[in-house]
Amino acid sequence: MTDDASFDSGDPAQTAQLIALNNKLRWACHSIRAVALVWIVWVLGLILWIWGDRAGLLGRLTKLYGLDPSSVTDVGYWSAFALALASWLASAVLVVSIWRLARVYLDGRVFAVDAAARLRAVALAGFAATAVDIVVRPMGAVMLSPELLSKVPLYGWFNPPDLLYLLICGFILALSVIFMTAAEIADDHARIV
């Protein structure tokens, strides 16, 4: 973590503002990192719990969608499980991107070009994780049992939270463009002065 003395800009008022900002951001960055870590571990735990109980999962699918458990092969079951883990890996990339962004902020480079680039990376990782999750659902169902594809309703493949995640990623991407522009203007201004 950067020492607050590294914010010395020559102007005592501006230095005090940057130190106060860093103190406010410190707890937020650590909290966001902790929540991201809890979330990704929680998701992995759910995947392992759900897929670890084959009879329970197939029983629920039979009850909900009329799946014939005898239509599920070992290869199909473990292939669908592997796809669920692939979706988790895409989410893990998002968490790594969040951690890297928080590191830049904790280092005191809040209004820097690299901070805006890291924010953009978070948005793109979020888009990728959401897209992988949406694509994996029907693919996993086909691998598990092709009959599921016709039995699960459309909202089982694409639902409102998916659209919300895409909206949030779009908003973060827009913010990254705004912050990148502001950081570039500030860099140009610093070179002129």
Q: What is the mean pLDDT of residues 71-82?
A: 96
Note whether 125 and 97 are within 8 A (CB). Answer: yes
| Residue ranges covered by each domain of the chain | 4-192
pTM, 2 dp: 0.83
Note whether 133 and 162 are within 8 A (CB). Answer: yes
Note whether 95 and 40 are within 8 A (CB). Answer: yes
Check residue 11 and give its pLDDT: 57
The span from the CA of 50 to the CA of 31, in Å, is 28
Q: What is the mean pLDDT of residues 42-56?
A: 97
Q: Which is more confidently placed, 185 or 57?
A: 57
The span from the CA of 107 to the CA of 151, in Å, is 51
Percent over 70 (pLDDT), the chain: 89
